[in-house]
Chains A and B, each alone.
Chain A
Amino acid sequence: MFDLEILDLFRAMPGSVAQGLIWGIMAIGVFITYKILNFADLTVDGTLGLGGAVAVMLILAGCPPYLVLIASFISGILAGLITGVLHTLLGIPDILAGILTQIALYSINLNIMGKSNQAVSVDQYDLVVSLRYISEAIMVGVIFLIIIIALLYWYFGTEQGYTIRCTGCNENMSRAQGISTGKAKVIGLALSNGLVGLSGALIAQYQGNADVNMGRGAIVIGLAAVIIGEVIGTAIFGKYMNFALKLLFAAIGAIIYYLVITFVLWLGLPSDNMKLFSAIVVALFLAVPYLKNKYNTSFAKAAKKGAE
């Protein structure tokens, strides 16, 4: 009996890898805002659904599934631009700007799809990825990630890429060095959400439908991926983690996340509790470095030292 169950787990793993790869593209998008731009961008949840909705509706309208990815990428860029403008031109704090766009996108996505869920069948359309063909999906995911990481590695090494990194690190200094921090933020947000939109398009094709709720909690998965990836990457490569590796590990973080999810589902955790579980994982990963630091330099410890 037990052996059979283990086999179940192994059978589920390739699917988790494929899913992780596709969500990994979104994780890289989150990496750009959260890590490089130092901007907690909650647009992501809405953008993922937007990318999915645009993709599915265009496919149903007869567009080739490959071309549709470009449309989803562009739709994501637009979503990022809106958050960017809300924040830089209208002075709305980053988290709130993202939430506003996210909420607006919920209605927009509903409008795009006409109802809350639209399906595309891999039998009818030549989809780029599908859960029916997992090994192909893994290959496509790997190819996409390689291209995206290569392009981003190049881009963040350009003069313009430097302005985004610099803005995320020190805004006052950036302006003193002639960098338009507003422009840098808008570009970063657009790029990030473009990738999230693309990821949404692939996710919709993979699962064979777009749902207005498909992006709910995506930011948490993205953060989990980024943080898990960072912890593991740093453990392996230490200070040799270069920029390409950081991006790669954001994606690897997403794969690990989905493997873990598959594992806990296999253990018997009801899938209704998945989001609760994700939130706890992210909270833990965020809290551990802080608590570790606090423990090492705590008042209680200082008092003890002083009493000795």
Chain B
Amino acid sequence: MLEIKNICKTFNKGTVNEKVALRGVSLTLNDGDFVTVIGGNGAGKSTMLNAVAGVWPIDSGSILLDGVNVAGLPEHKRAKYLGRVFQDPMNGTAATMEIQENLAIAVRRGKSRTLRPGITKKEKQQFKEMLKQLDLGLEDRMTSKVGLLSGGQRQALTLLMATIQKPKLLLLDEHTAALDPKTAAKVLELSDKIIAENQLTAMMVTHNMNDAITHGNRLVMMSEGQIVLDIGGEEKKKLTVEDLLQKFEQVSGEKFANDQALLS
């Protein structure tokens, strides 16, 4: 499915701000894998996801999606394979456009956009049904501007947009971090549901150790631009937060200095 081979990324090369963000990351995801990604601030989690999404070109290595190297494709061309939800709820939607218009844009991801209508009657009907499933009352606000929605509603909508066309890979980068605990739990539950129902392959970055353990079938830990831990199968199921903290110390030889992570 996804094969990341030895990718490296250095930001601002040759300047005083030079920052090596990824030092040879390799990771293979099988079909239907749901991987949670943890690691301290600046570990390179977002950078890895952005590398896959093509936000900027990587320095070296390859990124294979179903055997095809996509490392040379610009972001908008890679988009047809990917669904993405970001940390900032403002980021995933167009605030000045209607809910149904946002969905119409998402449903055309990866297709050529012509002079046909931007949204059709049939689609509006379909969107209404889909929004009903979210159970947030959005089906009655299809023509409202997305800017009027709450953060949680926007994340739920972004999730729907990311998966409205089954992506080869779903990338969730701390997509519940900006939400209050109750809303975060709801959006996470929704993510689980969508991933399970559509049998999606997904990567989810989180700072919540508990979430990382209880969700998905695989857990990856990053530190200083490298993957330092990769746990799957039965071992993952039995994992506890204490185990994880211990493993982190073992691998990196230092305490997991992230209070956000310890809180959970």
Which of A's residues lie within 8 Å of B, judged by CB? 155, 157-163, 165-166, 168-170, 172-181
Contact = CB atoms under 8 A, between A and B. Distances in A.
A173 B91 CA distance: 6
Contact of A173 (B94, B114, B118, B119): B94
Interface in B150-178: 161
A261 to B, nearest CB: 31
A139 B105 CA distance: 39
A226 B192 CA distance: 46
A178 B104 contact: no
A178 B78 CA distance: 7
B97 interface: yes
Contact of B106 (A155, A163, A177, A180): A177
A83 B105 CA distance: 26
Nearest to A168: B96
B214 to A, nearest CB: 27
A162 B104 contact: yes
B70 interface: no
Nearest to A166: B94
Contacts of B119: 162
29 contacts: A155-B115, A157-B117, A159-B116, A160-B115, A162-B101, A162-B104, A162-B105, A165-B96, A169-B95, A169-B97, A170-B90, A170-B93, A170-B95, A172-B86, A173-B93, A174-B76, A174-B105, A175-B75, A176-B75, A176-B79, A176-B82, A176-B92, A177-B79, A177-B106, A178-B109, A179-B79, A179-B105, A180-B74, A180-B76
A175 B97 contact: no
Contact of A170 (B80, B91, B104): B91
Contacts of B114: 158-160
A175 B76 contact: yes
B84 interface: yes
Nearest first, the 7 closest Cβ-Cβ pairs linking A and B are A178-B79, A159-B113, A162-B118, A169-B94, A178-B109, A175-B75, A175-B76
Contacts of B74: 180
Secondary structure at chain B's binding surface: helix, strand, loop or mixed?
Answer: loop
Interface string B6-36: 0000000000000000000000000000000
B193 interface: no
B113 A162 contact: yes
B61 interface: no
Contact of A177 (B95, B96, B161): B161
Interface residues of B, number: 34
Given A169-B97, A178-B77, A178-B80, A163 B113 contact: yes
Given A165-B97, A175-B75, A177-B109, 13 more contacts: A157-B118, A158-B114, A159-B113, A159-B118, A160-B115, A161-B118, A169-B97, A170-B95, A173-B91, A175-B76, A176-B84, A177-B108, A178-B111
Interface in B21-77: 53, 74-77
Nearest to B94: A169
A159 B75 contact: no
B110 interface: yes
A159 B113 CA distance: 5
A166 B113 CA distance: 13
B92 A173 contact: yes
A159 B108 contact: yes
Nearest to B80: A178
A159 B114 CA distance: 6
Nearest to B114: A159
A170 B77 CA distance: 17
B264 to A, nearest CB: 28
Contacts of A160: 113-115
A158 B112 CA distance: 12
A180 B90 CA distance: 20
B90 to A, nearest CB: 8
A180 B106 CA distance: 14
A166 B97 contact: yes
A159 B119 CA distance: 8
Interface in B97-143: 97, 101, 104-106, 108-111, 113-119
Considering residues A155, A161, A174, A177, which has the most beta carbons from chain B within 10 angstroms of its beta carbon? Answer: A177
Given A157-B118, A159-B108, A172 B91 contact: yes
